[in-house]
Structure 1
Amino acid sequence: MTFRTLILGACSTLALAWSAQAETLTIATVNNGDMIRMQKLADDFTSKNPDIQLNWVTLEENVLRERVTTDIATKGGQYDVMTIGTYEVPIWAKQNWLLPLDNLGADYDVDDLLPAIRGGISMDGKLYAAPFYGESSMVMYRTDLMEKAGLKMPDAPTWEFIGEAARKMTDRAAGINGICLRGKAGWGENMAFLTAMSNSFGARWFDEEWKPQFDQPEWKNTLDTYVKLMNDAGPQGASSNGFNENLALFQQGKCGMWIDATVAASFVSNPKDSTVADKVGYALAPDNGLGKRGNWLWAWNLAVPAGTQKAEAAQKFIAWATGKSYAELVASKEGWANVPPGTRTSLYANPEYQKAAPFAKMTLDSINAADPTKPTVKPVPYVGVQFVAIPEFQGLGTTVGQLFSAALAGQMSVDDALKQAQDAATAAMKEGGYIQ
């Protein structure tokens, strides 16, 4: 046996030993642009933590929600880190399904998290998830098409103005839709948009006694306005379009306006990805003069399920992905405009970010304007702007989303969709013991 063979054998033995000792974290995440970027930059984490390997499970939004909900409710233990939303965190924390994040490190600076975002993912003063990015929603629009239509976008538009502008900006022959809005069914897809929109129309999911409200005129006005607007000025097949589909349409120059997550701003204004990057303006989500705008409040967060055996490694990863140093890493690789937004006060105080991100102030103003404790014009017994923070909402919201998507596709009338939504909500509230 040669010396070289001995060395190679020793190296192989060490490699096997290291591989046996290394922990593998399985991370379930959503296929949004910021998360895809996180995976590309994850070598930074593994180089600093060679005893931890990462196994990514990347899923479309609706599929992710279904998989992680099933896994955590059945204690399946498939994942060590889960990407979950502001809706799930308080409900799952109460069920003891999540571990508190009390080991993120001395330099994590929890107090730097934006109060509106931190409040939605904490319980009894403890953080149960860490925000990867936070968002509200706003209007993103083509400044050139708005000018061509002879209009000027106000900083705080009304739905009436949005309707007028969308119809004037539509040019079917040129393949330009005046407006792109979510139509894909799902409680976090079309119902996120429509629930936020309905708040500005004076609608609500339930009254103070938990009685469903889809039989009230405010919901009919909301859905009528949405369906008519999309028929007049929206893209073909809009009932299949969620966040990612509309993002692609806007980047390709096929939307005059898009009302959606503030996090999209960095993607529509990035010349690497967007053909209209230098022609994008921003405005607050629309209102109807009733005191509420159609904007939501959300964060995609990283959390540790109670069933994991790798809690220490999981919190190390979460501290890396949601800490200040990750923002600096993204800035060094992709520029400050592409740093995950909406989570830290320090980001919005950073002059480099303010200079690079023309949407920064509108994003922060939109986040601060959303109040999950008073989301509607009339009083409600629930918390949540674009969702109702009760366990039943996930299934019910998706059912209602399917009905409203069918109405948009012309498969049923608005009146039929609302009647069936009322029936489904009433049955769910009775089954849950909220009403008799």
Structure 2
Amino acid sequence: MKTKLLMLACGVMAMSNAVAKETITIATVNNGDMITMKELSNNFEQKYPDISLKWVTLEENILRQRVTTDVATKGGQYDVMTIGTYEVPIWGKQNWLTELNDLGENYDVDDLLPAIRSGLTIDNKLYAAPFYGESSMVMYRTDLMEKAGLEMPKAPTWSFIQKAAKAMTNKEDGVYGLCLRGKAGWGENVALITSMANSFGARWFDENWKPQFNTPQWKETLQYYVDVMKESGPAGSSANGFNENLALFQTGKCGIWIDATVAGAFVTNKKDSEVADKVGFALAPDNGLGKRGNWLWSWTLAIPSSSKKSDAAMKFISWATSKEYSQLVADNKGWAKVPPGTRASLYENEQYMSAAPFAQITLDSINSADPKNPTVKPVPYVGIQFVAIPEFQGIGTAVGQQFSAALTGQMTVEQALNASQRLVERTMRKARYPK
């Protein structure tokens, strides 16, 4: 009888444990670092056996649409969201995010790089934890540069990039001198072209929030972009975002690629990249006006206020953005694959600095980015590759479609800029700017 009662008690306890197990849903983007996080997440589940993880992995533009809809409607589909430096301050002020105030005694918030941490903080409260941070830089084939008889400066100009790209292009062999984002989206082609525009002296708005697309600076920027891509870019580049250009570069099809510093680990990894031992790095280009075309971004993990599992979500975020996670990646993938750009201690680690040839230029690029003073002329907004206002997702995507149309030849540069001017003016009037 006692044995039966004991077995019954054990069965009840097992059922109780099964019921108590909490599942949190994580929405993330389909890039290499996030895929590694998912691969290694069994370590988290071993550490916290009462928590299970459900993953929703999406392409960048789709991820943004879904998490924005969910957080704005308080849908509660996700417990952890992968969002960026653009969303965090806006959503935090609207009380859409949960403050990260219980990340654990060993988390070491003060180790986060100031440039990254400041964009995730409102009134000294942290609303998202950076999974990785990035700026942008030039990646190039050293062998093709040498073959062209040129040497990449550490701090190149846009005119040099055009010259080098033309010299490195061999379309008969399927080698294109320059790969740039062409896929329409505020976080895709607009991020690149806006950063470029800053270095050409352009800006989205003047001090009174009047759109500035009908200016010579914007015309020079977009004309350069269209011309250089027609001259030296791959066919079908209007469909290429970060992942597509990464694949082209890794397979030896790009001479120069200007994009996120986080790509450094992917282009130098011999398992994935056919040109891993032929890659050099340089700062993002400038145009002699005192501003480089580099952005500042962080993919972060945040908890929507609609989540009913914030305690479990907080534990996951603490684990995924900790020093211990960096060590876990190093042990399993090598130091060069550790998510970059978030912690000062990583750049004080000799093992990382010797394993990652892109590490110093990543740190220099992040530290030189100034989102509060992003342009040559004064502006009323914060943000380098974006404008930190709620309306930017809509207008950024719409402008990206005009830029894409100019790239494909469906519109002239002038038509694309005039259309951008009109649609942004219309949106800003409806939103009653200046506030």
TM-score normalised by the chain length of structure 1: 0.97
Say if 2:386 is the partner of 1:387.
Answer: yes
What is aligned with 1:251? 250
Q: Which residue of 1 aligns with 2:40?
A: 41
Decide whether aligned partners of structure 1 residues 169 and 430 sit closer, same or farther in structure 2, where only a CA change above 3 A counts.
same
1:218 equivalenced with 2:214 (yes/no) = no
User: How far apart in 1 are the matches of 2:91 and 2:82?
Assistant: 13
Q: How many residues align?
A: 435
Q: Secondary structure at the match of 2:372?
A: coil
What CA distance in whole angstroms lies between the structure 1 residues aligned with 2:171 and 2:6?
Answer: 69
> What percent of counterpart residues are identical?
68
Give the residue type in structure 2 aligned to 1:390. I
Alpha-carbon distance in structure 2 between the residues aligned to 1:292 and 1:19: 57
Aligned twin of 1:362: 361
Q: 1:12 to 1:281 in 2, by over 3 A?
A: farther
**Deviations 1:380-416 (CA, angstroms, capped at 9, x unpaired):** 0000010000000000000000110111011111111
SS in 1 for 2:139: strand
Q: Which amino acid aligns with 2:193?
A: L
Residue matched to 1:185: 184
Q: Which residue of structure 1 lines up, in the alignment, with residue 142 of structure 2? A: 143
Give the equivalent residue in structure 2 for 1:26: 25
Distance 1:238 1:94 in 2: 37
How far apart, CA to CA, are the structure 1 residues paired with 2:418 and 2:276? 42
Aligned equivalent of 2:105: 106
Change (3 A) 1:50 1:423: same
**SS in structure 2 at match of 1:82:** strand
| Alignment CA distance shift 1:145-1:11 (3 Å) | farther
* SS class of match (2:67): helix
Q: Match of 1:127?
A: 126
User: What letter is aligned with 1:377?
Assistant: V
Change (3 A) 1:15 1:246: farther
- What is the CA distance between 1:18 and its match in structure 2? 2.2
Deviations along 1:271-314, one digit per CA (max 9) or x if unpaired, are: 00000000000000000010000000000000011111111111
Cα 1:55–1:5 shift into 2, 3 Å: farther
Report deviation, 1:8: 9.3
Q: Distance in 2 between matches of 1:15 and 1:282?
A: 55
Residues in 2 aligned to 1:142 and 1:11: alpha-carbon distance in whole angstroms: 63
Distance of 1:226 and 1:129 partners within structure 2: 34
How far does the alpha carbon of each residue in 1:213-258 deviate from its partner, in whole angstroms, 9 at most, with x for none? Answer: 0000000000000000000000000000000000000001000000
1:431 corresponds to 2:430: yes
1:420 corresponding residue in structure 2: 419
Q: What is the CA deviation profile of residues 160-217 of structure 1, one whole-angstrom value per residue up to 9, with x for unaligned ones?
A: 0000000000001110000000000000000000000000000000000000000000
TM-score, normalising length: structure 2 = 0.98
- Answering whether residue 290 of structure 2 is matched by residue 299 of structure 1, we say no
C-alpha separation in 2, matches of 1:356 and 1:92: 37
Whether 1:339 and 2:338 are equivalent positions in the alignment is yes
Distance 1:5 1:425 in 2: 74
Seen in structure 2, the aligned counterparts of structure 1 residues 7 and 285 have a Cα distance that, compared at 3 Å, is farther
Cross-structure match for 1:168:
167
SS at 1:105's partner residue?
coil
Q: CA deviation at 1:102?
A: 0.4
Q: Match for residue 195 of structure 1?
A: 194
Unaligned 5+ segments in structure 1 are: none
**Cα distance, 1:325 vs structure 2:** 0.1
Structure 1 match to 2:68: 69
Structure 2 portions without partners, runs of 5+: none
* Alpha-carbon distance between aligned partners in 2 of 1:231 and 1:380, rounded to the nearest angstrom: 32
Could you tell me how far apart the structure 2 residues matched to 1:9 and 1:272 are? 53
Q: Look up the match of 1:240.
A: 239
Aligned partner of 2:348 in structure 1 is: 349
Letter aligned with residue 431 of structure 1: K
Alpha-carbon shift at residue 12 of structure 1 (Å): 6.5
Cα root mean square deviation, aligned: 1.7
